[in-house]
């Protein structure tokens, strides 16, 4: 039976064992280990590896973590990588084992925390592990098999047991009796419009700013032959990435002669990334320019938006 060094046994809440199986998630092999010290490398951080749906790194202090006044032990830690991509308020608990190969016996010494809930990682604590992973005297003694021909092998296994992540849930609030908001936009000198797209002034509906967008010469599949018409959020950049607004809306070009208004109705989930909805072929230019249609009278066009918000979803 292989004896675990006594100095390691004295660490609290640490389970020590011997495994014949290599680590499942990552192996770090270091050749010419002594050159780390000779080249003043106090910390070596591995490349990223993936486990439990997250990115991690191994962090090795070959002569101890000087920031914690460790000088006579190897310090070894697990570091969470790319944590900025998780946003704010996240917390992860993980069980992990750190490995060191005994090359004489072809087995691995493993250290694992024995706490029931695993180690806690969050925005203010990205690293966890062992300040005193192994005494340097024990590590460097060839009889122990950990450093042979100036070569050693570390490893890691990581198992995520609990997650609390911002953006992993949402709250949908439906509105029982939604209010209908109307806004009319008067466009004078329509034939004199030179821009590809013209916007109405922003208007408020259900505590959000909206605009009507009109393309006099069409957009997309409606170019040249149609007038295109859209409803859009006026300030989509102010909407949180996970937020959505479910709205029913009607856009009308008002018939100023017969009150036979030309309209389209739709339901749409508006968001920061999908802030616009409408019709590239709202009305043909031929019909729009007919004097009997009443949509363009004395070179004036009246466009109306009616918006009714039925629900709002936000991240938990």
Using one digit for the tens of pLDDT, what is the confidence trace for 131-162?
999 999 999 999 999 999 999 999 999 999 88
83/246: higher pLDDT = 246
Statement to judge: residues 27 and 128 lie in one domain: yes
End residue of a domain, out of 113, 132, 164 = 164
Statement to judge: residues 15 and 159 lie in one domain: yes
CATH number at residue 58: 2.60.210.10
Q: Does some domain include residue 1? A: no
Question: Does the pLDDT of residue 281 top 80, yes or no?
Answer: yes
Any bridge partners for residue 288, and if so which? none
pTM: 0.52
Statement to judge: residues 15 and 149 lie in one domain: yes
Domain limits for position 69: 6-164
- 14 band by pLDDT with thresholds 50, 70 and 90: confident
Q: Convert 270-298 to b/e letters by CB count within 10 Å (16 or more is b).
A: bbbeebebbbbbbbebeebeeeebbbbee
Statement to judge: residues 116 and 213 lie in one domain: no
Statement to judge: residues 256 and 289 lie in one domain: yes
Q: How many CB atoms lie within 10 A of CB 26?
A: 22
Structure tokens belonging to residue 28: 């770090």
Q: Does residue 202 contact residue 210 with C-beta atoms inside 8 Å?
A: yes
Statement to judge: residues 297 and 223 lie in one domain: yes
- Number of domains comprising the chain: 2
Any bridge partners for residue 122, and if so which? 91, 125
End residue of a domain, out of 121, 149, 164 = 164
End residue of a domain, out of 127, 146, 164 = 164
Counting residues of the chain whose pLDDT is more than 90, the rounded percentage is 79
Statement to judge: residues 85 and 212 lie in one domain: no
């Amino acid at each position: 039976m292989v004896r675990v060094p006594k100095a390691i046994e004295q660490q609290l809440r640490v389970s020590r064992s011997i495994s014949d199986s290599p680590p499942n998630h990552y192996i770090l092999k270091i050749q010419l280990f002594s050159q780390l010290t000779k080249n003043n490398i106090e910390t070596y951080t591995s490349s990223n590896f993936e486990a439990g749906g997250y990115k991690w790194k191994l962090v090795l202090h070959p002569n101890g973590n000087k920031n914690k006044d460790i000088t006579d032990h190897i310090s070894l830690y697990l570091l969470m990588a790319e944590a900025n991509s998780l946003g704010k308020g996240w917390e992860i608990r993980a069980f992990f084992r750190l490995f060191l190969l005994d090359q004489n016996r072809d087995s691995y010494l493993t250290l694992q925390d024995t706490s029931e809930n695993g180690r806690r990682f969050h925005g203010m604590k990205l690293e966890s592990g062992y300040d005193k992973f192994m005494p340097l005297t024990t590590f460097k003694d060839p009889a122990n098999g950990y450093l042979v021909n100036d070569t050693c092998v570390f490893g890691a296994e990581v198992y995520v047991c609990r997650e609390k992540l911002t953006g992993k849930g949402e709250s949908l609030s439906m509105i029982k009796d939604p209010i209908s908001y109307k806004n009319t936009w008067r466009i004078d000198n329509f034939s004199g419009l030179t821009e590809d797209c013209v916007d109405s002034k922003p208007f408020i509906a259900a505590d959000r700013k909206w605009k009507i967008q009109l393309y006099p010469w069409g957009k997309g599949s409606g170019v040249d032959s149609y007038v295109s018409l859209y409803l859009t959020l006026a300030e989509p950049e102010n909407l949180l990435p996970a937020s959505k607004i479910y709205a029913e809306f009607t856009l009308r070009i008002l018939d100023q002669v017969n009150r036979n208004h030309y309209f389209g109705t739709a339901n749409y989930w508006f968001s920061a990334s999908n802030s616009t909805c409408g019709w590239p072929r709202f009305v043909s230019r031929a019909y729009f320019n007919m004097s009997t249609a009443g949509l363009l009278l004395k070179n004036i066009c009246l466009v109306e938006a009616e918006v009714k918000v039925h629900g709002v979803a936000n991240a938990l």
